[in-house]
Amino acid sequence: MRYWWVNQNQTHRQEQAGGYLWSPKRNANGAKNPFYESMREVSPGDVVFAFVDTVIAAIGVAQSYCWESPKPIEFGTTGEYWEGVGGKSASGSHHSFTECGRKITWGCCGPFCPRSTQRSRRMATAIQGIYLTELAPPLAETLAGLRGAEAQALIGSVSVGALMQTNDDLDYWEHKIEAEIERNTVLPPTDRIDIIRARRGQGLFKQRVMQIEQRCRITGVTNPVHLIASHCKPWRDSDKAERLNGENGLLLTPSIDHLFDRGFIGFEDSGKLIVSPVAHRPSLKRDGHRHQRNR
């Protein structure tokens, strides 16, 4: 179990009501958002301290891993400088405190944060530039203590439900993009078909990827019938050219394509496999053992 501090001055009401955390991948200027990487590390059972207007307003327990999701509609004009694509994590078991609680200052948090870490100082003084960051256990225990016995009991009795389905937002989002493409009369009908088929890793896009590689990078399967052309830059984030560019694709079997598309695995430029810290290792191990036997 890990502990996280989330600064929700702008979006606490929406995130708490919806039972989730959300962070953009990038800011509107294209700069990488470091807190999206933190979001990718949140795991079921982690404790989240929600900080609003200088006090801890709620404590929640993460119920899922992060999945890619568009900016929540309920944010409205809030966070206009955020990119519209981000990561979402279900945070259930929220407990909101009715009393205001003690104001959190550097004086009460500082002793438990690295003295040289400016990021920790900014977190403790609640500058909005910090959204999500990990807390050291001693600091988490101190924060719970500041909220009293009720908060201490909450973090001492963490419960996690069944692993949640996290693809609903993603599927809805991609279907919406497909519908927009189908209605786009500026594109020739054949282009519309090619772009939509590319989402499923088939058609012209697959043909172009197969001119570059001929097998799944993980399983070694070579039969094209059992392979999908998966986009390196996700189809939902790509423009027309990128969606059909063979250089933007890999050949993968369906289960490996799922792991890659959802960010549980990745590849370095050298082709070396990267496994996300939140990937479910037992599932990956079973999947890998099966593929090894079938080679």
| SS (HEC) of the chain | CCEEEEECCCCHHHHHHHCEEEEECEECCCCECHHHHHHCCCCCCCEEEEEECCEEEEEEEECCCCEEEECCHHHCCCCCCECCEEEEEEEEEEEECCCCCCCCCHHHHHHHCCCCCHHHHHHHCCCCCCCEEEECHHHHHHHHHHHCHHHHHHHCCCCCCCCCCCCHHHHHHHHHHHHHHHHCCCCCHHHHHHHHHHHCCCHHHHHHHHCCCCCCCCCCCCCHHHCEEEECCCHHHCCHHHHHCHHHEEEECHHHHHHHHCCCEEECCCCCEEECCCCCHHHHHHHHHHHHHHC
**Residue 17 shares a structural domain with residue 118:** yes
pLDDT at 149: 78
Are residues 204 and 136 part of one domain?
no
Per the domain annotation, does 233 fall within a domain? yes
pLDDT in tens, the chain (295 residues): 888 888 887 888 888 888 888 888 877 677 777 788 788 788 888 888 888 877 788 888 888 777 777 788 888 887 777 777 777 777 665 566 545 444 554 445 555 454 434 444 444 444 445 778 888 888 888 888 877 777 777 777 766 655 555 555 667 778 888 888 999 999 999 999 999 999 888 999 999 999 999 999 899 999 999 999 999 888 887 889 999 999 999 999 998 998 888 778 888 878 888 887 767 778 787 765 444 433 3
Statement to judge: residues 143 and 8 lie in one domain: yes
Quote the number of domains for the chain: 2
163 assigned to some structural domain: no
CB 257 within 8 Å of CB 249:
no
Residues 122 and 249 in one domain: no
Q: Same domain for 52 and 142?
A: yes
Residues 27 and 140 placed together within one structural domain of the fold? yes
* Same-domain check for residues 28 and 85: yes
Range of the domain at 53: 3-155
49 and 130 housed in the same domain: yes
Residues 28, 98: one domain? Answer: yes
Q: Which of 125, 155, 185 is the last residue of a domain?
A: 155
One domain for residues 271 and 145: no
Give the pLDDT confidence score for residue 285 in this predicted structure.
78
- Please give the structure tokens belonging to residue 289: 């053992």
Q: Which residue from 95, 98, 85 is spatially nearest to 58, judged by alpha carbons?
A: 95
* pLDDT of res. 162: 55
Alpha-carbon dihedral sign for residues 281, 134, 20, 88: negative
Q: To which residue do tokens 């009393």 refer?
A: 99
Rounded Cα distance between 219 and 46, Å, is: 33
243 and 151 within one domain:
no
Contact 27, 82 (CB under 8 A): yes
At 203 the pLDDT is 92
**Residue 275 CA: distances (Å) to CA of 99, 145, 164, 259:** 42, 36, 20, 10
Query: Tell me, what CATH number does 140's domain have?
Result: 3.10.590.10
